[in-house]
Amino acid sequence: MAMLKAQPNIPQVNVPDEDGYLRVPYEFCKSAKRFSDCLVRSLIYSFSCVKGKPEARCAMSFSEMQTKLHYSRSTVNAAIRAATKSGAFSQDKSNRFRASYKYLPAEEEDETSEAPRQTLPSFTVEFYLLHTQFIGKDGVPAYLPKSAVAVLGLIKTHHENGGFKGSDRKIARTLGYTSKTVRKAIKLLLGLQLIFRPKEARGINGAKLSSYIPNERALRKAKRAFERDAGNSSRRKTAEEMRIEREGYYSRLQTAERDRVEKLENELKADSRYFELDRRRKQLEIETAKAEVFAPLRLPGLQRELADVYTERARRMAQLGFSEEDLKPKFLCAACEDTGFRKSDGRMCDCFRRGGQT
């Protein structure tokens, strides 16, 4: 905790427990080797250390973490491995479909003592900053490097808590970056006009005090655009889910009906008299079809015989408690015959929407 002493003006941040924020404890910036490690740890921390919810876990899949933090799978993989290896993050594999993670430093044996884990001094990083392309001077939209996201998060957090005053070197120390990286990030953020440097803070007596102010207007705009896109993609997902649901509905109807007919056929065929009549029917149908082409003279006789077999079969079915009709597929919807597409014009039927009624 030595680094905390070096930063007396670090504010205690209470971040709303919602998806838009990530709490990044300062000490993670120090202890993690790479900033990707730090962000993945912060993600676990943010989701598993929730006030009043000792049972909270970060149960995100790797691909969800990838999406959330905008990292590659291998980066997330490596970060998770490093986090669990560090001993401060426990992995729960009791759910065989999905592991979950919790920030649980080894010295905190007592799981019920929630307080210390929730109050790690942190700054916040808002997710939209990881997913927004900003247009620079060259006119090319580009994502912010993670270092710039971190610097901006730090500046923004401190601004909301009374303002950040300190050298670039101090920012570097806080984030575990080199001064060069921080200077580059600040230059980029100033260039993109995502932060300002107020006039009065410019080099007083050579004391390199910097005070940066986030450009709230530009950031709000970016956040709104991100949320709009997120809303659109969730609507797209709903449409996709609707399609799957719709296709599933018709497929289930068709399968159920096919199964019913097949079951009935098997039941009937168990009767030897029916079995014999049905075999004869099939045979005659083939012979009739052949005769139509090759032996028209035989046709009337075959047709009579076939009609007789049908009559006989129907009689036998009646004796068994069924009718010819039972062997025909029954449709819930006459318009599309449960295919989802109307027979009349081939267009999408709306019986699914209306709960399967014609």
The residues of the shown chain that bind Zn ion, judged by CB under 5 A, are 333, 335-336, 349, 351
**Residues 163 and 206 sit within 8 Å (Cβ to Cβ):** no
Least distance between Zn ion and beta carbon 342 (Å): 7
Q: Which residue, 94 or 344, is less far from Zn ion as judged by CB? A: 344
Return the number of the residue (82 or 335) whose C-beta is nearest Zn ion. Answer: 335
- Residue 182 or 333 having the CB closest to Zn ion: 333
Instruction: Give the C-alpha distances (Å, rounded to integers) separating 200 from 187, 188, 209.
Output: 18, 21, 10
Nearest approach in angstroms of CB 241 to Zn ion is 20
CB of 328 to Zn ion, least distance (A): 18
Minimum Å gap between C-beta 258 and Zn ion is 17
- Cα separations (Å) of 206 from 7, 115, 171, 185, 203? 22, 42, 18, 22, 5
**Backbone region of residue 205 per phi and psi (left: phi > 0; alpha: psi in -120 to 50; beta: other values):** left
Cβ closer to Zn ion: 137 or 347? 347
CB 351 → Zn ion: shortest distance, Å? 3
Closer Cβ to Zn ion, 247 or 324, answer by number: 247
R_g (Cα) of the chain, nearest Å: 35
If one counts every other C-beta atom within 10 angstroms of the C-beta of residue 358, the result is 12
User: Do the Cβ atoms of 129 and 142 come closer than 8 Å?
Assistant: no
In one letter, which amino acid is 136? G
- In whole angstroms, what is the distance from residue 171 CA to residue 187 CA? 14
Given a contact cutoff of 8 angstroms between Cβ atoms, the answer to whether 194 and 215 are in contact is yes
CB-based contact 174:23 (threshold 8 Å)? no
Name the residue nearer to Zn ion (CB basis): 272 or 344: 344
CB of 246 to Zn ion, least distance (A): 11
Query: Taking the complex as a whole, how short is the minimal distance between the CB of residue 335 and Zn ion, in angstroms?
Result: 5
Nearest to 339 by CA among 348, 330, 327: 348
| CB-nearer residue toward Zn ion: 317 or 336 | 336
**Cα 136 from Cα 139, distance rounded (Å):** 5
